[in-house]
Amino acid sequence: MSSFKMIKEKLEIMPSKQTVEEFEPYCKWQKDGRDTILHVYLNGFKKELLQFDDAKRKLTVSGYRILDQYTIQYFTRTFDVPENCEVDKNKIKFTGGILSITFPEKDSTSKGAITSITEWCFNEKIWKYVERIGMVGVAACVLINCCLCCSA
């Protein structure tokens, strides 16, 4: 259900002199070890009135709060999830009016990605070549990295 639909439902039970205001929450990103954390400051909002939608490395957070019998504030924010983070393993916590969404860093070795020369040299597909040509040949292996990876 979209935040606008939620607001519309609330407006139907409110008096006719209601006001709907858009709210812009303060947000900040924080790096904590291998995790990246998004903090969204939502003082006065209730956890039950927040919604999350994540698709294609984007996270949308929306919600509303009733200020008084005549006023509703709502917000919708979309964030780009950093490329080095796992989208589907996030942890959401809402305490003290602060929404914290923790994205763990991707494990580069889990996808088989080679990220350094050392890792490349010890990759199973490459190691047989290094054993054959000896340590002097390691430099040559580095130089032909592209050729071997493309033909593997």
CATH number at residue 88: 2.60.40.790
At residue 37, the pLDDT reads 94
Give the pair of three-digit tokens for residue 2: 């979209």
Q: Indicate if 81 and 139 belong to the same structural domain.
A: no
128 assigned to some structural domain: yes
Tens-digit pLDDT profile for residues 51-108? 887 777 888 899 998 888 888 899 999 998 888 888 788 899 999 999 999 999 987 6
Q: Indicate if 82 and 39 belong to the same structural domain.
A: yes
Q: Indicate if 94 and 124 belong to the same structural domain.
A: no
109 assigned to some structural domain: no
Burial of 135 (0-12, 13-18, 19+ CB in 10 A): exposed
41 assigned to some structural domain: yes
89 assigned to some structural domain: yes
Q: Indicate if 15 and 79 belong to the same structural domain.
A: yes
Q: Indicate if 99 and 128 belong to the same structural domain.
A: no
Q: Indicate if 79 and 100 belong to the same structural domain.
A: yes
At residue 12, the pLDDT reads 58
111 assigned to some structural domain: no
Spatial separation of the C-alpha atoms in residues 8 and 2, rounded to whole Å: 10
Q: Are 42 and 50 in contact (CB under 8 A)?
A: yes
Band of residue 16 on the pLDDT scale cut at 50, 70, 90: low
Could you give the dihedral angle defined by the CA atoms of residues 145, 146, 150 and 152, in that order, rounded to the nearest 10 degrees?
0
User: Which range marks the domain in which residue 17 is found?
Assistant: 3-104
Q: Indicate if 35 and 94 belong to the same structural domain.
A: yes
What is the count of structural domains for the chain? 2
- Cα distances (Å, whole numbers) of residue 27 to 39, 41, 145: 6, 6, 43
Q: Indicate if 92 and 128 belong to the same structural domain.
A: no
Highest mean pLDDT of the ranges 22-31, 51-60, 112-121, 133-142: 22-31
Q: Indicate if 45 and 7 belong to the same structural domain.
A: yes
